[in-house]
Amino acid sequence: MKSLIEAGRRFYSRNWVLATSGNFSAVVSESPLQLCITRSGAHKGTLTPRDFLTIDGSAKPVGRTSARPSAEARLHLEIVRARNTGAVLHTHSVWSTMLSEHHASEGGLALHGYEMLKALEGVITHLHREWVPILENDQDMARLAGDVARVLAQHPDAHAFLLRGHGLYTWGRTVAEAERHVEAMEFLLETVGRRSQM
Amino acid sequence: MKSLIEAGRRFYSRNWVLATSGNFSAVVSESPLQLCITRSGAHKGTLTPRDFLTIDGSAKPVGRTSARPSAEARLHLEIVRARNTGAVLHTHSVWSTMLSEHHASEGGLALHGYEMLKALEGVITHLHREWVPILENDQDMARLAGDVARVLAQHPDAHAFLLRGHGLYTWGRTVAEAERHVEAMEFLLETVGRRSQM
Amino acid sequence: MKSLIEAGRRFYSRNWVLATSGNFSAVVSESPLQLCITRSGAHKGTLTPRDFLTIDGSAKPVGRTSARPSAEARLHLEIVRARNTGAVLHTHSVWSTMLSEHHASEGGLALHGYEMLKALEGVITHLHREWVPILENDQDMARLAGDVARVLAQHPDAHAFLLRGHGLYTWGRTVAEAERHVEAMEFLLETVGRRSQM
Amino acid sequence: MKSLIEAGRRFYSRNWVLATSGNFSAVVSESPLQLCITRSGAHKGTLTPRDFLTIDGSAKPVGRTSARPSAEARLHLEIVRARNTGAVLHTHSVWSTMLSEHHASEGGLALHGYEMLKALEGVITHLHREWVPILENDQDMARLAGDVARVLAQHPDAHAFLLRGHGLYTWGRTVAEAERHVEAMEFLLETVGRRSQM
């Protein structure tokens, strides 16, 4: 929880989680599956322990709590199941929002030739081609969770995906690895976005 | 007052209230109407309690004070009356200034399709269409207050407006809600502005 | 001196005085004229009292010191004499550098229609037209000081000027007023620069 | 080591070493040649003494350590030998990445006319022409070290070079001088990059 709080503070200073956007989770139990996740409506730059709750594998709160989990809790669960990962981070930056709109009709965007790709787990050369899928945004979370599961299955090597007009989802075995993926992806998206303006 | 001071510090770190620009208020009494408001000329990044004063419903200082209220105090009062709100925040960013010029001839700009719209109170889907009215700037505050009242009546659902070449006005039931609206609007304006460069 | 140190720290956080660029001074005696000025080569983000020295009206150090004044000390003296001012601040931002190149052939650029102009001392309306002269850069400080004196005389209402490829000079009766002018000018230059990209 | 830690913190706050990118070294012994260098995989914004190790002139760790030196350790050694320098800093910013791609086919880019060039050691006029070589990126460090040695010999006056899609290398007699070169080069690259968008 402490590392999620600190990640939130850093993301806020970079304008990646303005206005209560974004949500974060970490696996606290694998069997049965339980996630520690940010509550709905919390400001991600000034999180405290009271801004977290524990949910089970069907996104229901565990124990007594008046807090509601982030609306996107089901997306976190789909990611954890599909990738067997330990932490999920969703950020909401200007560049990820812009590029998710700009490349929406292509269903994703490719990243290639950048040394920064090596910050993604398992990537060992800048010649790697990373496909970042873009999903249509949807307020129906059951339907969107299904879309996420399908896209993760179609792109088993993807380290992240974008929701259109909504930002970035990435993950890692630990919060530190997931935060490294956020920094790498935000860097790459800004670079690609600015290059398209040259 | 403490939450306005902290909001000012955060806005300054983001370059949204440079050079004493911007002004903030919060309702301290509803009947009779009284606002706590920043004094004219105060730097919004380093506010202290002495940079605030209380005004009544006609923008006159309450009690003894040598400070003058922000020149835009009447605009704050119009907003509080029209929206029955608890706090008003005016920021002055590069992107809000640019877009207020760029879209001035259209009288406003539309925001649509962005998840960040859900940070605006009462908005529940990215498919929401938010119209942000743009008013011509004016140094005659009585006349400008009239313009503000008219625009707020014409657009009863608007969460914010722009003054041309002058920046953003938004509000909320609490300072926290108003600050969330500032962050959301500044994010959306930067996103729209940068997209128009792609 | 304390206010110059703090201004330097703030400018550095905004990337306006990277790599020891920029220089600051304040009048410590009017008759005979003496300035407290940053030494040559000091980093402006981490100034200490030892990074300052006192110079007389011919830019010579007063008292024993091994430090040399900023190479641009003569420009500070010309400004103090021409404007009867108390503080001079030179910043070196990306946008001021870009615009000083972009508009060099016109000899300056005009700022008009922006509320932020009212942060310049004596300006009371956004309809004000501020002409910001641009001087060719020159490593011959005696010659450049002559150019500065001439331009200040030609434009008695100017609040600031640009050196081509070199950044912004502005001033004020106090360090606080000069810093407000820096913030206002950097805001306006960034706004004008970004608008030209739309 | 302390100055490298502080440089890392400052670079991180400017987004120049996101996601464990970048690496830093300082000469601790000239004969035999030994460098103190960041370990592979360390986050450069939050370095501690345990994130450093000492290597000899063939990039092998000195003493017992479980840490591996940065993959680019051989590049640092080539620079120290070619330039007889005391510190080497590699940063990885958006603008250096973009420009290294944009000008790759020309084999470098020229910087000319900017006062900021004088922040580079030995440069005394903005009329200086600095050629910044761009090398193709390569995961074979022995081969890339050979390329670096050849480019440094071909351009004996160069203060820095870019690796394509990978960022900036610069150096100095001290960490402070190398950091000044980083700030100057990042400023110049951002300025050149943004000007090409006007």
DSSP secondary structure string, A23-62?
EEEEEEEETTEEEEEEBTT--TTS--GGGEEEEETTSPBP
User: What residues of chain D lie within 8 A of the CB of C137, using their CB?
Assistant: 113, 115, 126
Ranges assigned E (strand) in chain C: 23-30, 33-38, 52-56, 87-91, 108-112, 129-135, 160-163, 167-172
Indicate the Cα dihedral angle A163, A167, A172, A174, nearest 10°: -140
Out of A20, A94, A137, the one facing B191 most closely (by C-beta) is A94
Cα–Cα separations (whole angstroms), residue C102 to C90, C162, D102, D191: 19, 12, 21, 12
**Which pLDDT tens digits describe chain B residue by residue (198 residues)?**
899 999 999 999 999 999 999 999 999 999 999 999 999 999 999 999 999 999 999 999 998 888 888 889 999 999 999 999 999 999 999 999 999 999 999 999 999 999 999 999 999 999 999 999 999 999 999 999 999 999 999 999 999 999 999 999 999 999 999 999 999 999 999 999 999 988
* Angstrom distance (rounded) from CA C172 to CA A138: 54
Ranges of chain C with pLDDT below 70 = none
B121 touches chain A (CB under 8 A): no
Cβ of D71: how many Cβ atoms within 10 Å?
Answer: 15
A112 touches chain D (CB under 8 A): no
Nearest to C120 by CA among C189, C167, C73: C189
pLDDT of res. C68: 86
β-pairing, A23-30 vs A33-38, is antiparallel
Nearest-Cα distance to chain B for C163, in Å, is 22
Out of D119, D124, D194, the one facing C20 most closely (by C-beta) is D119
Confidence of residue D70 (pLDDT cuts 50, 70, 90): confident
Inter-chain touch B183–A102, beta carbons under 8 Å:
no
Neighbors of chain D with 3 or more C-beta pairs under 8 Å: A, C
* Angstrom distance (rounded) from CA B102 to CA B193: 9
Q: Which of D11, D123, D187, D189 to mutate to test the interface with C (most CBs of C within 10 A)?
A: D187
**Per-residue tokens: C139:** 């490593």
The residue whose two tokens read 């017992």 is D64
* Angstrom distance (rounded) from CA A148 to CA A82: 9
User: What residues of chain D lie within 8 A of the CB of C18, using their CB?
Assistant: 116, 183-184, 186-187
**Per-residue tokens: A56:** 């089970």
Residue-wise pLDDT tens digits, B52-72: 999 999 999 998 888 888 889
Residue in B with minimal Cα distance to C120: B19
Nearest to D96 by CA among A186, A191, A196, C17: A191
Between residues 27 and 46 of chain A, which touch chain D (CB distance below 8 Å)?
A: none
* Angstrom distance (rounded) from CA D41 to CA D62: 19
Count of A-B CB contacts under 8 Å: 61
Inter-chain touch A94–B125, beta carbons under 8 Å:
no
D163 touches chain A (CB under 8 A): yes
pLDDT of res. D69: 84
C14 touches chain B (CB under 8 A): yes
Listing from the earlier edge strand, what are the strands of the sheet with A129-135? A52-56, A33-38, A23-30, A87-91, A167-172, A160-163, A129-135, A108-112
Out of A113, A119, A124, the one facing D19 most closely (by C-beta) is A119
B57 touches chain C (CB under 8 A): no
Inter-chain touch D165–A194, beta carbons under 8 Å:
no
C19 touches chain B (CB under 8 A): no
* Angstrom distance (rounded) from CA B100 to CA B108: 8
User: What residues of chain C lie within 8 A of the CB of B166, using their CB?
Assistant: 114-115, 126
pLDDT of res. B2: 93
Task: Please give the mean pLDDT across all residues of chain D.
Answer: 96
Ranges assigned E (strand) in A116-185: 129-135, 160-163, 167-172
Encoded amino acid at D109, one letter: L
pLDDT of res. B58: 94
Confidence of residue D117 (pLDDT cuts 50, 70, 90): very high
Out of A165, A193, A196, the one facing B126 most closely (by C-beta) is A165
Nearest-Cα distance to chain A for D119, in Å, is 26
| Domain extents in chain A | 2-197
**Per-residue tokens: C69:** 């004044």
Inter-chain touch B18–C187, beta carbons under 8 Å:
yes
D122 touches chain C (CB under 8 A): no
Neighbors of chain B with 3 or more C-beta pairs under 8 Å: A, C
Nearest to A35 by CA among A8, A74, A5: A74
Neighbors of chain A with 3 or more C-beta pairs under 8 Å: B, D
C21 touches chain D (CB under 8 A): yes
Out of D19, D163, D164, the one facing A184 most closely (by C-beta) is D19
Residue in D with minimal Cα distance to A118: D21
D184 touches chain C (CB under 8 A): yes
* Angstrom distance (rounded) from CA A1 to CA A8: 11
Burial letters C60-89, b for 16+ CB under 10 A, else e: ebeeeeebebbebbbbbbbbbebbebbbbb
Inter-chain touch D167–A115, beta carbons under 8 Å:
yes
Q: Per DSSP, what are the bridge partners of residue B162?
A: B134, B168
Q: Which of B12, B17, B21, B23 to mutate to test the interface with C (most CBs of C within 10 A)?
A: B21
Q: What is chain D's percent helix, strand, coil content, to nearest 5?
A: 40, 25, 35
Nearest-Cα distance to chain C for B31, in Å, is 33
Cβ of B50: how many Cβ atoms within 10 Å?
Answer: 10
* Angstrom distance (rounded) from CA B37 to CA C167: 36
Question: How far is Cα of residue A104 from the mean position of the Cα atoms in its chain?
Answer: 18
* 3-state SS assignment for residue C130: strand
D195 touches chain C (CB under 8 A): yes
Helices (DSSP H) in B47-174: which residue ranges?
73-83, 94-102, 141-154
Inter-chain touch C119–B20, beta carbons under 8 Å:
yes
B97 touches chain C (CB under 8 A): yes
Residue in D with minimal Cα distance to C167: D115
Inter-chain touch A98–B180, beta carbons under 8 Å:
no
Inter-chain touch B21–C116, beta carbons under 8 Å:
yes
pLDDT of res. D124: 96
* Assembly ipTM: 0.96
Inter-chain touch A101–B195, beta carbons under 8 Å:
yes
> In sequence order, which residues have a C-beta less than 8 Å from that of residue B88 and are 6 or more positions away?
B24, B25, B26, B75, B76, B79, B80, B169, B170, B171, B178
The residue whose two tokens read 């830019």 is C59
Nearest-Cα distance to chain C for B53, in Å, is 21
**Per-residue tokens: D171:** 């150096």
Inter-chain touch D18–A113, beta carbons under 8 Å:
no
Nearest to A159 by CA among A82, A103, A92: A82
Phi/psi at B115 (nearest 5 deg)? -55, -35
Inter-chain touch B184–A137, beta carbons under 8 Å:
no
* Angstrom distance (rounded) from CA D182 to CA D131: 15
**Which pLDDT tens digits describe chain A residue by residue (198 residues)?**
899 999 999 999 999 999 999 999 999 999 999 999 999 999 999 999 999 999 999 999 998 888 888 889 999 999 999 999 999 999 999 999 999 999 999 999 999 999 999 999 999 999 999 999 999 999 999 999 999 999 999 999 999 999 999 999 999 999 999 999 999 999 999 999 999 988
Q: Which of B93, B94, B114 to mutate to test the interface with A (most CBs of A within 10 A)?
A: B114
Nearest-Cα distance to chain B for C80, in Å, is 22
C122 touches chain B (CB under 8 A): no
Out of D92, D94, D165, the one facing A194 most closely (by C-beta) is D94
A187 touches chain D (CB under 8 A): yes
B173 touches chain C (CB under 8 A): no
CATH superfamily of C2-197: Class II aldolase/adducin N-terminal domain (3.40.225.10)
CB of A73 within 8 A of CB of A67?
Answer: no
A66 touches chain D (CB under 8 A): no
> In sequence order, which residues have a C-beta less than 8 Å from that of residue C81 and are 6 or more positions away?
C33, C149
